[in-house]
Structure 1
């Protein structure tokens, strides 16, 4: 009890500082954004999936996609914890109850990421670099939108996983990226963000392009040579790090996706 009270007193003292100096990041996209805006030296721990930039590897790992190591987080005496709301709000509730400052990051639309970068800049005292990174991100995204605004439509199946076979709807980051590039996502209007589907559905829709994370996932479609994407050899791999993690690198992943759809045209 005395140890816990001591930690809480230290945390209270840290809260008085205008700029947090001991930040715990609980999601890969959060970690990457913090480093991008110049707050990397303030990060004292991350989740196990955070692996970019490379120097993140040396930081303590205090969370995974299932749980948090609350005792280890407390021992690090953070003055700010940044979490992913939809996945971690229940897990971090005990930290908030102990008086630790917790904020959430969950950008939902492609343009929201720039606002998120600026928000994190204000939180961490890194406003100048954050505003520069956000402005560059907006320019890249707007340029892509202009470049492919009038592109001819091409039907796309975006494969997400294999067992079970899943895809993405139009509200996800990946779905928005497909639409920005002029693609017509065959699961655009699914009620679920990440619908589970049958191969027969893909066969019925007969997309012109199939996208997946690796060649092994794409090879299964060679069993259906009648598919347009197979006939035209338009089975493309995507960069999961830039498209499945919503970060300043995302426009580069979208640009690659757009070039792939352009090839299909």
Structure 2
């Protein structure tokens, strides 16, 4: 087993030396994506035809669903990954870097993604485009994304704050705080997140706590029409009384791609509508 490892490491070292001496590195042609948002970004940038395998959750665009799977949210099938002979693996740093350590030791390059806020996604798009040799495409994508983000902030980020509760799921009643993207969306749109100061980014909260806070708007990341039905038990809540129970597309808001701004706009429109009914 030692000889193949040494061989792969040597080849990668030689390629690195060639780049350092002024020769441009070849863009990767066999890419494995281990997280859905990166799969989607690869297609957006025009590199979808270079993807040879993905993870179980990569479902957008539809073409991604036909590709072989070498990972899920808990594990990576290293043997299946290596069988695809990738020249680049793209992955989520906080969730997958430890699992990919053996792959990096073999000399296979890994591009890690970890967008921390909406603005940083623009930087990640540019960095990924540079790695793929698709800088022009990436700059165009990033510029359009950041322009839309700026427009949403300018249009909706002002005005009297609206008390918002975001239901991630129920039961147990779970919400979002801190840097979680739905929490950032609420702030961007001029809302006041009722659990903004929770210690966890995805805190479990008590019904009594939320009832006492009396949200003016309740959002849920769900496509299920019944996801917010349990709130009807408290008709005196402002959000219930004013019929401000709104579903947000979770496939957009919870995924780190430019499509997230479609859901952010949903959040902004819901907050703006709730503001019109403030006393």
User: Under TM normalisation by the shorter chain, which class is it?
Assistant: over 0.9
Aligned to 1:144: 152
Give TM-score scaled by structure 2 length. Answer: 0.89
Question: 42, 48, 61: which one pairs with 1:53?
Answer: 61
* Residues 154 and 182, structure 1, Cα contact 8 Å, conserved in 2: yes
The residue number in structure 2 matching 1:261 is: 271
Following superposition of structure 1 onto structure 2, how do residues 59-138 of structure 1 map, counting pairs within 5 Å?
A: 59-138=67-146
Alignment of 1:24-63 (within 5 A): 24-63=32-71
Aligned counterpart, 1:216 = 226
Q: How far apart, in 1, do the equivalents of 2:13 and 2:171 lie?
A: 49
2:207 aligned with 1:199, yes or no? yes
Q: What is the DSSP-based 3-state SS (H/G/I as helix, E as strand, rest coil) of the residue aligned with 2:211?
A: helix
> What is the RMSD of the two structures over their aligned residues, measured on CA atoms?
2.1
Q: Could you tell me how far 1:223 is from its partner in structure 2?
A: 1.4
Contact kept? 2:164, 2:218, Cα under 8 Å? yes
2:260 to 237, 244, 250: 250
Residues 211 and 3 of structure 1: is their aligned pair in 2 closer, same or farther, counting only changes over 3 Å? farther
Gaps of 5+ in 1: none
Answer with 1 or 2: which has the greater Rg. 2
Structure 2 residue corresponding to 1:176, chosen from 181, 184, 198: 184
Change (3 A) 1:91 1:198: same
Name which of structure 1's ranges 12-21 and 26-35 shifts more when overlaid on structure 2: 12-21
Question: Number of residues paired by the alignment?
Answer: 265
Moved more, 136-145 or 150-159: 150-159
Kindly indicate whether the alpha-carbon contact (under 8 Å) linking 2:158 and 2:189 is maintained by their aligned counterparts in 1: no
Unmatched 5+ residue regions in structure 2? 17-24
Deviation at 1:97, TM superposition (A): 1.7
TM-score normalised according to structure 1 size? 0.94
Offset at 1:245? 0.4
SS of the equivalent of 1:111 reads helix
